[in-house]
Chains A and B, each alone.
Chain A
Amino acid sequence: MTTRILIKNGRLIDPANNVDRVTDVLIEGDRVSHIGPVSACDAYLIKAAGKIISPGLIDLHVHFREPGDEEEETIASGSAAAVAGGFTSVVCMPNTSPSIDEATAVEFVHRMGRQARKTFIYVMGAITRERKGQELAEIGLMSQAGAIGFTDDGSGVQDASIMLKAMKYVSMFDRVICQHCQYNSLAGKGVMNAGYQSTVLGLPGIDPLAEEMMLWRDVQLVRKCNCKYHAQHLSTIGSVKIMREAKQMGLPVSCEVSPHHLLLTEDMCSDYDTNYKVNPPLRTKADIEALKQAVKEGVIDALATDHAPHLMSEKELEFLAAPFGIASLECALPLYIKALIEPGVIDWSNMLAMMTCRPAAVIGVDKGRLGVGDRADVTIIDPEAEWTIDANKFISKSRNCPYHGWKVKGKVLNTIVAGEIRYTAAS
């Protein structure tokens, strides 16, 4: 017998289909079977009056640390955190230990994801073996095993000729090649943005140019080989400009932005609080404004958390020694609301597009919309609920969250993955 779920009287926002209206959604099995008024029927009922029904949220950028650093996060704990954050699909980055740089590793991640049975797990493979930036990894075999894109995230591919080869090679499999744009020679041993704060704190800085120059280089390479290219977590005014121009040229490029680059600035490092240590580093107010403007113009394609869990004991170190990263999967939605909807940068439909159909398009998967016959990945959101972020209550194994204690608005109530309710918020 197929299970049936009826979501009643919710505001269905399905940007891919240009839908924004109050209606009912009926799910049968793992598919959406009906949209429109449904009279009482034999189904599990979710009353959604005043709530938003969204296609399941997609996060293009998470670190679940498995294999290798299971004390920080596992695919199981990360998956549970993902559905708590409203995400029905996430894309795991390959910078584990060992790196995801061959087909069995890809299969391993998929298997752990299936076993966790929470969110849908996608994985990107490494571009180069062991992410060393020297030899191409087995991109073809990983593609066949299901890797939906390639990146050496954590660092960028430094050598232009290797990047060019990788772009050409990846395009053979119709996958997206992604880049953590950062020239190491310019970034040096930097631990935060190079600017006034790094001067005051006496910490080595990462100049915005380290990101911008690699992005610019990559855009030139894309011009040459016309492959599908995605720039990860852009953080600077200059990057926005380069990306805007690349899109104006009609290149097949896309990019994402992370909540911390929309909300936090370098000034927040002033107390040497390592929860603000992240790569790319927190920049300035002007950078935030430029990124918001880019979101408004549609230059940014996706909102991606870059959820990077770390143990408290690792973060309780000197700022120089602590690892980079912020854990934000479970509070991402209200953070985007705070950054983009509350100040009126974009509306709900545009924001949800950047969390559903547009990221789906980046990785080329058939998801991110909610029409009859579509897979029943659904996120139900209470846009008005006010709550306080408490990192100690995270399902994620890690607590390295600078938003701890923030008062936010907007809450995930239910997360439905393939017709199964995988998360229900405690009332």
Chain B
Amino acid sequence: MDTTFQWRHKHLIGLAELSRQELEFILDTAKGFEEFSARSVKKAPTLRGKVVVNMFFEDSTRTRNSFTLAANRLSADVIEFTKTSSSVNKGETLIDTARNLEAMGVDIVVIRHSAGGAPKLLSRSINACVVNAGDGYHEHPTQALLDAYTIRQVRGSLDGLTVGIVGDIAHSRVARSNIYVLTKLGAKVIVVGPPTLMPGKIEQLGVRVSHNLDEVIEELDVINMLRIQFERLGGNMFPSVREYSHFFGLTVERVKRARPNILVMHPGPINRGVEIESEVADGPNSVILQQVSNGVAVRMAVLFLVNQAAALQGENKTGKSENQTN
């Protein structure tokens, strides 16, 4: 770890704006949190007296629990604010809601929202740190960080690896954040899916586009299967779940044709039998549960770092200085 490096971001909105060094710094920091789960006391006093609010405008048990656990392990107080509303336009505006929470002394806002850009909007409007827990089709930075972390954990490094991201790339924030972190850390990325689920000009992000999983499966060191939300996509993007699985599902057959040590990943929740067969999801190549455990460490690191950056900025403003600990 570079000891002179300084983390300066009090918000984590996306990975697009982070450098390789910054991304590696987050992952290195997360490493320091990895052993927490094995401790008898799974808690450090780091964020004691800090208030973290989980503002979730969209359903997500997994990500919210992971953030809550991460905040709790750092001794922060956590407020759960859940408001699932299909219409973002009705009632109190996002900014008003956030300012109200801030007035209660919130230090870090973790936000999940169905509209891309909501965390950015928030970061411009309030003083608290903002951590993006997934916004629309924009970014899901902590998910991608934990994915990268998991790959690094198993393979040591991402340099030179080929990672396939399969599924609905167009409507996936996980895909976008993954593309940024993986390419910056030296991996090659192939996005795989039908043209109807491929966003325009995606190749400008430095990835290869394929519409044929069978053609690329043998090249992959890692395969990340995105969840297909058929209920949301309707019959517009592909004709049927059966047809989708036939062409893009990760079956035992396909895994057999892949490299023997291929890592199988999935951001969850899994649609067994749709994008991934149960035998594969639970098989020896799967690191899906490892991803979940690493999620807590990565989110601890993120909460720790944004709070640090905020403290640094506050320090620079007031100009006071404390004795160095020794």
| Direct touch of chains A and B (CB < 8 A) | yes
Is the pair B88, A318 in contact by a Cβ cutoff of 8 Å?
Answer: yes
| Complex Cα spacing A363 to B300, Å | 64
> B121 near A: Cβ within 8 Å?
yes
| Complex Cα spacing A198 to B202, Å | 10
Is the pair B200, A196 in contact by a Cβ cutoff of 8 Å?
Answer: yes
Is the pair B116, A203 in contact by a Cβ cutoff of 8 Å?
Answer: yes
| Complex Cα spacing A198 to B136, Å | 12
Which of B95, B139, B173, B199 gathers most chain A CB within 10 Å? B199
Is the pair A317, B204 in contact by a Cβ cutoff of 8 Å?
Answer: no
Is the pair A203, B136 in contact by a Cβ cutoff of 8 Å?
Answer: yes
Question: Which A residues, 176 to 203, have Cβ-Cβ distances below 8 Å to chain B?
Answer: 194-196, 198-203
Chain B residues lying within 8 Å of A272, measured Cβ to Cβ, are 116-117, 120-121
Question: Which B residues, 73 to 101, have Cβ-Cβ distances below 8 Å to chain A?
Answer: 88-89, 93-95
Chain A residues lying within 8 Å of B88, measured Cβ to Cβ, are 317-318, 320-321
Question: Which A residues, 303 to 348, have Cβ-Cβ distances below 8 Å to chain B?
Answer: 313, 316-321
Given contacts A313-B93, A318-B94, A320-B136, contact A202 B200 (CB under 8 A): no
> A271 near B: Cβ within 8 Å?
yes
Question: Which A residues, 78 to 102, have Cβ-Cβ distances below 8 Å to chain B?
Answer: none
Question: Which B residues, 107 to 144, have Cβ-Cβ distances below 8 Å to chain A?
Answer: 113, 115-118, 120-121, 125, 135-139
| Complex Cα spacing A200 to B88, Å | 21
Chain A residues lying within 8 Å of B252, measured Cβ to Cβ, are none
**Least CB distance, A187 to chain B, in whole angstroms:** 14
**Chain A interface residue number, banded:** 10 to 19
Given contacts A316-B95, A319-B115, contact A202 B120 (CB under 8 A): no
**Least CB distance, B137 to chain A, in whole angstroms:** 3
Chain A residues lying within 8 Å of B115, measured Cβ to Cβ, are 318-321
**Least CB distance, A238 to chain B, in whole angstroms:** 16
Chain A residues lying within 8 Å of B199, measured Cβ to Cβ, are 198-199
Within 8 Å by CB of B201, from A199, A203, A319, A321, lies A199
**Least CB distance, A364 to chain B, in whole angstroms:** 40
> A205 near B: Cβ within 8 Å?
yes
| Complex Cα spacing A195 to B204, Å | 10
Is the pair A202, B173 in contact by a Cβ cutoff of 8 Å?
Answer: yes
| Complex Cα spacing A352 to B41, Å | 76
Chain B residues lying within 8 Å of A320, measured Cβ to Cβ, are 88, 115-117, 136
Within 8 Å by CB of B120, from A271, A317, A321, lies A271
> Size of chain B's interface in residues, with CB distance under 8 A?
27
Chain B residues lying within 8 Å of A194, measured Cβ to Cβ, are 200
Within 8 Å by CB of A195, from B95, B113, B137, B200, lies B200
Within 8 Å by CB of A200, from B93, B95, B135, B205, lies B205
> B16 near A: Cβ within 8 Å?
yes
Chain B residues lying within 8 Å of A195, measured Cβ to Cβ, are 200-201
| Complex Cα spacing A407 to B89, Å | 35
Within 8 Å by CB of B121, from A198, A199, A205, A318, lies A318
Is the pair A203, B200 in contact by a Cβ cutoff of 8 Å?
Answer: no
> Which partner residue on chain B sits nearest A200 by CB separation?
B16
Within 8 Å by CB of B93, from A202, A203, A317, lies A317
Is the pair A196, B204 in contact by a Cβ cutoff of 8 Å?
Answer: yes
Chain A residues lying within 8 Å of B125, measured Cβ to Cβ, are 316
> B227 near A: Cβ within 8 Å?
no
> B176 near A: Cβ within 8 Å?
yes
Within 8 Å by CB of B176, from A200, A205, A271, A317, lies A200
| Complex Cα spacing A78 to B139, Å | 40
- Bits for B4-23, please: 1 = Cβ < 8 Å to A, else 0: 00000000000010000000
Which of A200, A272, A318, A320 gathers most chain B CB within 10 Å? A318
Is the pair A202, B89 in contact by a Cβ cutoff of 8 Å?
Answer: no
| Complex Cα spacing A198 to B197, Å | 14
Given contacts A198-B200, A317-B88, A321-B88, contact A203 B137 (CB under 8 A): yes
**Least CB distance, A223 to chain B, in whole angstroms:** 32
Is the pair B138, A201 in contact by a Cβ cutoff of 8 Å?
Answer: yes
Is the pair A202, B94 in contact by a Cβ cutoff of 8 Å?
Answer: no
| Complex Cα spacing A194 to B95, Å | 27
**Least CB distance, B180 to chain A, in whole angstroms:** 10
Chain B residues lying within 8 Å of A196, measured Cβ to Cβ, are 200-201, 204
| Complex Cα spacing A198 to B137, Å | 10
- Bits for A194-224, please: 1 = Cβ < 8 Å to B, else 0: 1110111111010000000000000000000
> Which partner residue on chain A sits nearest B199 by CB separation?
A199
> Which partner residue on chain A sits nearest B125 by CB separation?
A316
Is the pair A202, B116 in contact by a Cβ cutoff of 8 Å?
Answer: yes
Which of B117, B125, B135 gathers most chain A CB within 10 Å? B117
> Which partner residue on chain A sits nearest B137 by CB separation?
A202
> Which partner residue on chain B sits nearest A193 by CB separation?
B200
Which of B116, B199, B201 gathers most chain A CB within 10 Å? B116
> Which partner residue on chain B sits nearest A272 by CB separation?
B117
Chain A residues lying within 8 Å of B136, measured Cβ to Cβ, are 202-203, 320
| Complex Cα spacing A327 to B138, Å | 28
Chain A residues lying within 8 Å of B117, measured Cβ to Cβ, are 201, 203, 272, 318-320
Is the pair A318, B173 in contact by a Cβ cutoff of 8 Å?
Answer: no
- Bits for B159-188, please: 1 = Cβ < 8 Å to A, else 0: 000000000000001001000000000000
Is the pair A318, B113 in contact by a Cβ cutoff of 8 Å?
Answer: yes
Is the pair A202, B201 in contact by a Cβ cutoff of 8 Å?
Answer: no
| Complex Cα spacing A25 to B49, Å | 75
**Least CB distance, B245 to chain A, in whole angstroms:** 25
| Complex Cα spacing A331 to B70, Å | 51
> Can you pick out 18 interface pairs between chain A and chain B where the beta carbons lie within 8 Å of each other?
A196-B201, A198-B200, A199-B199, A200-B16, A201-B116, A201-B138, A202-B137, A203-B117, A203-B137, A205-B200, A272-B116, A272-B121, A316-B93, A316-B95, A317-B89, A317-B121, A318-B113, A320-B115
Which 9 pairs, one residue from A and one from B, show the smallest C-beta to C-beta distance? Answer: A202-B137, A272-B117, A202-B138, A318-B115, A202-B116, A199-B199, A320-B115, A196-B201, A319-B117
Residues of B within 8 A of A (CB): 16, 88-89, 93-95, 113, 115-118, 120-121, 125, 135-139, 173, 176, 199-202, 204-205
Residues of A within 8 A of B (CB): 194-196, 198-203, 205, 271-272, 313, 316-321
- Given A271-B120, A319-B116; 17 other pairs, CB 8 A cutoff: A196-B201, A199-B199, A199-B202, A199-B205, A200-B205, A201-B116, A202-B138, A202-B176, A203-B138, A272-B116, A272-B117, A272-B121, A317-B89, A318-B118, A319-B121, A320-B88, A320-B115
